Every structure is written in C-alpha cells, then in structure tokens.
Amino acid sequence: MLSTPLETQIDLDCIVERIFAFRQITRLDQRLLMSVMLSKTEITPEEHMQIDRIFEGVKSGRLQVVD
C-alpha cells in the first residue's frame, strides 16, 4: 500500500512532535525519519524546516541523542 503525501506528512509531524516532547531522539526515531524522508520524491520547505529544527536541537543541546 502506498502512502499519500498527507499520510506521510502526518507521520513526519508525529515523529517530530514526539522527539521534541521527550527532548531526545532515539535510534528508532532516526530510522523512522529516514524511512519517511527516503520514501518521498521531493522534500517540501515545511519538511525541510522540521528536519532543520531537529538538527539545531541536537546541535544546541536541547535534544539528546540516545540509543
């Protein structure tokens, strides 16, 4: 079954929300993000901003990387 763009966006939104709610990114979160992003042919500006938020969170120490 193929995902529609709306389903993929909801999945990405949920993943990003959970990452910031727990203030950590796990290996599972990383795999889910990669899966969602690699399933797309194009990344929207909104999705790019969400990914940048995660990188900035890790870089600034607001998000912790855990196994």
Quote the pLDDT of residue 67.
Answer: 87
Per-residue pLDDT band for 11 (boundaries 50, 70, 90) equals confident
pLDDT at 16 over 60: yes
pLDDT at 31 over 70: yes
What is the arithmetic mean of pLDDT over 32-55?
A: 92
CA 54 to CA 12: how far, in whole Å? 12
Q: Is 46 helix (H, G, I), strand (E, B) or coil?
A: helix
Q: CA-CA distance, 32 to 29, in Å (whole number)?
A: 5
